[in-house]
Structure 1
Amino acid sequence: MHTMRYLLAFFFLVIGTAGFAQKIATLEIELPQTTSNLEIPVKAKLDEITLLPDSVLRLVAVEGNKRTPIPCQIENGNARFIHWIIDPASATKGKHTYELVKGAKSNLPATIKINDQQGALTVRAGDKNLVRYNYKTVYPPAGIDTAYKRSGFIHPLWTPHGQELTRIQAPDHYHHYGIWNPWTHVLFEKDTVDFWNIRDRKGTVRFANVVATADGPVYSEYEVLQEHVAFRPGGKEKVALNELQSVRVYQPKDQEYYIADVTINMSCASPSPVLLLAYRYGGFGWRTTEKWNKDNSEVLTSEGKTRKEADGSTARWCIVQGQLDQDYGGLVMMSYPTNYNYPEPLRIWPETMNGRGDMFANFSPTKNKNWLLEPGKTYTLKYRLIVYNGHFTKEKAESGWQSFGNSPKITVKLK
C-alpha cells in the first residue's frame, strides 16, 4: 500500500506575509440557487491555470477588500486538481470569488485522516469515526455457513453524533454487508453467476488491494481494488470483473452532517464480456440499522415517492431517515447523471418486511434493463452520500443534489 501524494494547503495572511503573496489567477463561481445552508465541495483543474509546484500554491476567498485564506487540497493523478469547500455561511446565490496565489510553504496537519487498523480503514475527523471500510474477511457467527464470509464493504457508517446507520449479517439475510456493491444475476462465459447471494457458492466480491489513501484539510480518501469472482466446478475460480472503488469523505464544518462521494470504476478482468442481467436488486446497496422499522423511519425520493410507492420507481436521490434512540438521523443517497440507466431504479423493502418493516435501500441500475460490460472499457458509477443527524427535507436534499449533479461552473481569469 502506498500513500497518494497530497498537499495540506492552508495559510494565514498575517502582517509581513500578505504583501508577498503573488496572485496567479482569479476563480469565480456562480451559484444559481440557494444551498439550504449545505457545504459545496468544488474543484478546478490546476495544470490549465499554473505549472507551479503544489507546495507554493494557496487559495484566498475575496469579499470586497477582504481576503480570507481557506483550506484547499491538491490531488495528483492523471491531472492535478485543487479542491476546496464553499462555506455554507457564505454560500448564497450569486458570484463567489477566490484568488489562487503563490505564497510561503505551510505544513499544517491533516484534519481528516484514515486510520489503518485491525483489517479496516477508518476515516476520522478529529476524534470522530465517520466511515469504516473492512478489507479483512469477516466470517458469520459460529454455526452459520461460512459461505457467508465477505470482505470489501462499509460498516459501520456513523452519523455525526456517533450512531451506526449500517448493519451486517442480519439473521434474515446473512449476506447483507452494510454498504456494498455486488451484482445478482450475471452472465459470464456461458454461466449464470450470482455475486450477491453468496451462500449459493456461485460467486463473491472480495477485497484485493489498497491502491491509495489520502489525508488532508479538505478530504480524506481511500481507493481499493475489489474482485468479482466467479466460482467454477472443482473448486476453481475466475475473476470476472475488477472494481476500483474510491470513497472520499469531506472535512465536516457542521456538526450535524458530512458528505461522502463514492466512485465505482468497473472493467472486465479477462477477454470475456460480462452481462449484468436485469434483476429486481443488485448494485449499490445499503442495509440499514436494526433500530429502524416501518413505525419509526421514513423514505422520500426526488420524485415525491414514500416507502409505500418507492420500490421500482426511478430517482435522482432518496432520503432514508428515522429514530436513533433519543436522536434522529439518516442518509441521502444521490445518483450522478452519467450513471447507467439514470435516473436509477430503486429497490426499497416493503413495510411488511420481516413482519416489522426492516429497511433496505438500493440504487439498482439493472433492475429493469441489462447492462453489457465489454473488455477494454471502463464503466463508472458515482454516488454522493449526505450523512446527518436531525431531519432532512425534500428542499434540502434537492439543493444538495444540484450541487452534486450540476456542479457549479468555475470561471478562471489568469492574473
Structure 2
Amino acid sequence: MRKFHLLSVFLLLTACHSFAQAIAGFVVKSGTFPRHNSIVYTALPPSAGNAPVSLEEITGGKRIPVAVNVYKGQLCWILSGNTPAGAERTYELKKGVPVTNPRMKTALHNGSLVLEEHNDPILQYNFKTVAAPSGADTVYSRSAFIHPLWAPNGVVLTNIFPNAGHLHHMGVWNPWTHTLFEGRETDFWNVQKKEGKVRFNGNLETLSGNVWCGFSAGQDHVAFLKDGTEKTAIRETWLIQAYPATNEGARRQWDFTTTFAATTPNGITLLQYRYGGGFGLRTTAAFTAQTSQVITSEGKTRKDADSTRARWVKISGTTTHGKAGMLIMNYPDNFDSPEPLRVWPENMEGGELMFNYTPTRMKPWQLYPGARYQLKYRVMVYNDDIINEEAEAAWQEYAHPPEVRVI
C-alpha cells in the first residue's frame, strides 16, 4: 500500500508579542534593479531549533507581521509591494505561534493533489494512474504529471491524451527520450514504443502555508527489459511550490524543481536528441497557430524558436473561456543553460502546440552513480497577456533574487 506523508508546515503569520524571544534579524537588499513582490529565501538560523517562528518587518518605527514559511531549514517570505533599486528592508525573526488556517493549501482528491489559494485551484498533480482513453492501448495509462494547470482567471492551459498520434503527451511532464541504459537505447517519453515510462513511486509529501503550498513527489523512470522484467533507471523527486497571486489576482508564480539520480552501477547516458526531459508542456487544444503566440527572450516566435536557446518563453492564447498564458523561465545553473528549445512548427497537429526545454538537445549528459542532478524552472501564469519587459523582469527576479544579510 502506498504511504502518503502529510507535513503541516505553518506558517506563520502572527503579531509578535513584546516578550517573544528574538532569534535573528535580516536585511534584504533589492540590488541593482527594482523589485515587485519578490520571493525571498534564506537559511533558518540554527538557534531557532524546532520552535515555531514568526516574522516582522521593521519600518517607520513600526513592526508589521509578515507571513513566513519554513521548510527543510529554509525561510521563505514575500518582499511585498514595490522595492526600489538599491533599497534595503529590515526584518526580525522571533519565536511565535503557528497559523492554523493557511492561505495556500493542498487538497487530496481521489488520486490527485490540487494546490489552492483559498478555494481557487492552481494546478493538479496526478499521482494515481490515469487510464488511457477508451479503445487506446493501456500503455498510454500514466501517472506523475500535472494537469490541469489553471490561469488565475480559470482558463485551463494544459491538455492530456490530445489526439491519436500523441496520446503520450501529458500536461506538464518530463521523461527523457533518447537514452543509453545498460547497453540499450531506451525511450521513456514515447511510451508506445514500450521501452520505458515514468511512474509515481509512492512517496508524496504535501505542504501548506501562508507563503506557498506545494508537494514533493517521487517518480521513477522505469525501463522495460527484453526478458520482460523492469528496472528503475532514474529516480527523481519533484518539488512544486506555488505562491500567492499578485497584481490584483492577475499573476501567479510556481517553482518546479526536479532532483534526480541514476540508480544502477553504470549510470545512464542522456543522449543528444531534439527533445526530452527538462520541462515538457502540451498546451490546451484551444491554443493553435491562429489563436496563440510564442515569443522567447531572444525575440524568436513559433516560426523560428525551435532549436534556439532562451532564458524564458512566453506562450499566450485565446480560449472560449478567456485569454491567458504562461511564462516558463529557465534557471541559469541548469545543464547547458540557457537551455535549447523544442517548439512545434505551426503545421503540426492542426497548429496545436507542444513545448519543451531540452537540456540535451545540443550535447549528451552522463548521469553517474552516486551523484545527484537538478533542473529548476519558474512558471508565471497570467490573465490576458504580459509585455516582454515584464517577462524579462520576472526572469531577472528569478535568476538574481534579493540578497539577504543576517544581522
CA distance in 1, matches of 2:62, 2:295: 42
> Which letter maps to 2:38?
I
Hey, what does 1:324 align to over in structure 2?
319
8 Å Cα contact 2:24-2:94 kept in structure 1 = no
Question: Unaligned 5+ residue runs, structure 2?
Answer: none
The answer as to 2:334 corresponding to 1:339 is yes
Hey, what does 2:377 align to over in structure 1?
383
8 Å Cα contact 2:26-2:90 kept in structure 1 = yes
Match for residue 2 of structure 1 among 2, 5, 9? 5
8 Å Cα contact 1:28-1:95 kept in structure 2 = no
The farther-off stretch of 391-400 and 252-261 is 252-261
The answer as to 2:353 corresponding to 1:359 is yes
Hey, what does 1:12 align to over in structure 2?
15
Any residues of structure 2 matched to 1:149-228 within 5 Å, and which? 149-171=141-163, 172-228=165-221
Match for residue 113 of structure 2 among 110, 118, 121? 121
> Which letter maps to 2:386?
F
CA distance in 1, matches of 2:96, 2:254: 31
Hey, what does 1:369 align to over in structure 2?
363
How big is the shift at 1:251? 2.4
The answer as to 2:128 corresponding to 1:136 is yes
How big is the shift at 1:394? 1.3
8 Å Cα contact 2:58-2:92 kept in structure 1 = no
Question: Unaligned 5+ residue runs, structure 1?
Answer: none
Residues 1:110 and 1:207: Cα distance change in structure 2 (over 3 Å):
same
1:233 is paired with a residue of what secondary structure? coil
How big is the shift at 1:36? 7.2
Hey, what does 1:266 align to over in structure 2?
260
Match for residue 107 of structure 1 among 99, 106, 111? 99
Q: Percent identity?
A: 37
CA distance in 1, matches of 2:300, 2:284: 21
2:28 is paired with a residue of what secondary structure? strand
8 Å Cα contact 1:328-1:389 kept in structure 2 = yes
The answer as to 2:59 corresponding to 1:63 is yes
CA distance in 1, matches of 2:189, 2:271: 13
Hey, what does 2:344 align to over in structure 1?
349
Residues 1:28 and 1:204: Cα distance change in structure 2 (over 3 Å):
same
CA distance in 2, matches of 1:321, 1:237: 40
CA distance in 2, matches of 1:53, 1:152: 32
**TM-score (norm: length of structure 1):** 0.92
8 Å Cα contact 2:10-2:102 kept in structure 1 = no
The farther-off stretch of 323-332 and 289-298 is 323-332
How big is the shift at 1:260? 0.7
Deviations 1:312-346 (A, max 9, x none): 00011110111122521111111111110111000
**TM-score (norm: length of structure 2):** 0.94
> Which letter maps to 1:141?
P
How big is the shift at 1:211? 3.5
Hey, what does 1:86 align to over in structure 2?
79
1:278 is paired with a residue of what secondary structure? coil
2:6 is paired with a residue of what secondary structure? coil
How big is the shift at 1:82? 1.2
8 Å Cα contact 2:160-2:282 kept in structure 1 = yes
> Which letter maps to 2:40?
V
Match for residue 236 of structure 1 among 225, 229, 249? 229
Give the count of matched residue pairs.
401
1:175 is paired with a residue of what secondary structure? coil
CA distance in 2, matches of 1:169, 1:35: 42
CA distance in 2, matches of 1:157, 1:270: 34
How big is the shift at 1:353? 1.3
CA distance in 1, matches of 2:254, 2:175: 20
The farther-off stretch of 63-72 and 171-180 is 63-72
1:315 is paired with a residue of what secondary structure? coil
Match for residue 284 of structure 2 among 271, 284, 289? 289
How big is the shift at 1:187? 0.3
8 Å Cα contact 2:35-2:397 kept in structure 1 = no
Hey, what does 2:87 align to over in structure 1?
95
> Which letter maps to 1:204?
K
Residues 1:260 and 1:142: Cα distance change in structure 2 (over 3 Å):
same
1:314 is paired with a residue of what secondary structure? coil
8 Å Cα contact 2:258-2:376 kept in structure 1 = yes
How big is the shift at 1:20? 3.0
CA distance in 1, matches of 2:159, 2:197: 19
Residues 1:331 and 1:411: Cα distance change in structure 2 (over 3 Å):
same
**Displacement over 4 Å in runs of 4+:** 33-37
1:20 is paired with a residue of what secondary structure? coil
8 Å Cα contact 2:30-2:87 kept in structure 1 = yes
How big is the shift at 1:142? 1.2
